[in-house]
Amino acid sequence: MSSTALQSKMGVFALATAILAFSSSAGARADAFIPSSDKGGFQYSEPMDWPELTLDLSAIERQVAEAARLRCGTALAAAPLDLGDANSFMGDMMGKVASAAVGKLLGSVFGGGGGSSKQKKPRMFKDPIKKKYKTRFEDPEGKVRVLVGGKQYDDGLLLSARVDKARGKGTFHTMFLERPDCTRIWPIQYLGYSMWGNWSLSVSVTKTTSTYRDSQLIDRSVERSGWSKSGDFDFSRGFSVWDQLDDESRMVLDPNEAFKNQLRTEIGDPAWRQMGYARPTEGIRSAGGLFRVDPAELTPGTIAVIHITNVEAGRYRTVGFPFHFSAGEDGMLTLEQLDTAGI
């Protein structure tokens, strides 16, 4: 072995010896280094145990939950919900399959193959709330505009809305009723009335008359006639301080965030997915939410909430519309929009 290599190895050994000597002189306990093996003059030891501390969070959770309860039946129920990046957003497999089924249906309308040739237009649900009974509302920032009406029945309630304006052709994310005692009532069914887009079906007939004399064409006339029909596409079909977004749990101590976390959890499958779409845009434009609820359950202060999807800065977000409502003698609802500025 060369003298240079020998000096290098001796230097490493001296450094290791110096480190151990410093650790000993620094006041380390005698049992801090427990030899587990001895090889080549070096000692290896087991790592020290770090102290553990257990915290009781129940008092904090109760405090946040009690504060969040004060938000029920307020405009906070319409606070924007972030749904994810618009470029990479993908629905689940069920949504994709449903969208493929819709695509086949539309293909049959346009003669593009797939589906029955007897299908002339998508199946429609008729909106029972006439336009004259609806009111137009817009969010404070002018992002989304909707036309909303409704009717109360002996055993239920219908909210009916149309998206007049939304960036990216937004659609319905959720509808619900919320009482001041924090009880939320969800639709038993969403009814699609119309889609973003138009359907059209046309037939044309061309008649060509040719006149010959002595095998020579002396006259030709062309007559065209036909009919067409068009319209709108219609297709039917407690609070926690723990945020479970992105498959991770994080503690939230702000009552407003705890309120919104609970709302996201209760929404489950959004309306657009329940109606058969994989993405929160370009689907249903006009829809109804049918609630099975006794009028006596709609205690004073109950609000109705509609969330519409909107594309903003490359992300899917919702714009919420909260309403106080009352029913007239004919059952038709009068809606008063709550102020959402600043939420």
Domain boundaries, the chain: 59-199+230-337, 204-228
Q: Which residues touch 263 (CB under 8 Å, ≥6 apart)?
A: 77, 81, 184
What is the pLDDT, as a whole number, of residue 179?
94
pLDDT > 70 in the chain, percent = 62
pTM value? 0.66
Residue with more model confidence, 17 or 189: 189
Residue-wise pLDDT for 18-70, tens only, equals 333 333 344 444 444 445 555 556 666 677 777 777 767 678 888 888 888 89
1 class by beta-carbon count within 10 Å (0-12 exposed, 13-18 middle, 19+ buried) = exposed
Q: What is the dihedral of CA 130, 190, 126, 165, to 10 degrees?
A: 60
Cα–Cα distances in Å, from 271 out to 70, 87, 172, 275? 27, 21, 6, 6
Q: Which two tokens stand for residue 212?
A: 């010959």
pLDDT tens sequence across 260-312: 988 988 898 899 998 888 889 888 999 999 999 999 999 999 999 999 999 98
More confident residue, 249 or 178: 178
- A 10 A CB-CB count for 219 gives 9
CA distance 266 to 182: 12
Q: What pLDDT sits at residue 272?
A: 92
- Number of Cβ within a 10 Å radius of residue 201: 14
- In sequence order, which residues have a C-beta less than 8 Å from that of residue 172 and are 6 or more positions away? 161, 163, 190, 270, 271, 272, 275, 284, 287, 306, 307, 308, 309
Predicted confidence at residue 40, as pLDDT, reads 58
Tens digits of residue pLDDT in 65-89? 888 889 999 999 999 999 988 887 7
b/e 23-48 (16+ beta carbons within 10 angstroms → b): eeeeeeeeeebeeeeeeeeeeeeeee
Q: Read off the pLDDT of residues 234-252 as tens digits, 9 standing for 90 and up.
A: 333 267 677 765 556 677 7
What pLDDT, on a 0 to 100 scale, did the predictor assign at position 78? 97
User: What proportions of the chain, in percent to the nearest 5, are helix, strand and coil?
Assistant: 25, 35, 40
pLDDT bin (cut points 50, 70, 90) of residue 207 is: low
Is the per-residue pLDDT at 181 higher than 70? yes
**H or E element in which residue 311 lies:** strand 303-312
* C-beta neighbour count of 76 within 10 angstroms: 22
The candidate with the shortest Cα–Cα distance to 297, out of 191, 180, 161, 174, is: 180
Predicted pLDDT of residue 76: 96
| Lowest-confidence pick of 78-92, 140-154, 197-211 | 197-211
Looking at the chain, the whole-number percentage of residues with pLDDT higher than 90 is 38
